[in-house]
Amino acid sequence: MRKRVLVFVAAAVIVATSLAVTLSSGADAAREIVLEVRGMAFYMDGAGAANPVVRARPGELLRVTVRNSDAGLVHDFAVADLGVVLRPVQGGATGSVVFRAPREGGTYLYVCQPHAQMMRGRLEVSRD
Ligand SMILES: [Cu+2]
């Protein structure tokens, strides 16, 4: 009898765990965009052009991760029009901010606030 109860409890734990995994990896999971900062500029996945255009779909949930490779310099990431601000990221550290792209398409300015004259690019929200 006791063995039967244990089997039931074990089965319930397995079902609950797989349900939690399913829910957390659902359709609303944020898409991660990694921006490496070096030499006072953003690089998508650490490569390509400086201060790249970041593209998103309307209403898309995004996680922007800033990897600061500038030793001794503090950088951040902000989109003023969307109220998006990442806390300052120390040299050698990484920080993330999660936000939802606006439902209307458009072009929004992103900057590193302390270095907004050099570190600035466009967030383009569109369906295509
Ligand atoms: Cu900066």
Q: How many whole angstroms from 20 Cα to the centroid of ligand 1?
A: 38
Distance 69 CA to ligand 1 centre (A): 11
For residue 92, the CA-to-ligand 1 centroid distance in Å is 13
How far, in Å, is the centroid of ligand 1 from the Cα of 97?
16
Mean pLDDT on 62-90: 98
Rounded Cα–Cα distance for residues 44 and 34 (Å): 6
27 Cα to the center of ligand 1, angstroms? 33
pLDDT in tens, 95-122: 999 999 999 999 999 999 999 999 999 9
> Cα(49) to centroid of ligand 1, in Å?
17
**pLDDT at site 97:** 98
- Given pLDDT bands bounded at 50, 70 and 90, which one contains residue 48? very high
Distance of CA 104 to CAs 18, 65, 79, Å?
A: 36, 23, 15
What pLDDT, on the 0 to 100 scale, is given for residue 62?
Answer: 98
Is the confidence at residue 21, as pLDDT, over 60? Answer: no
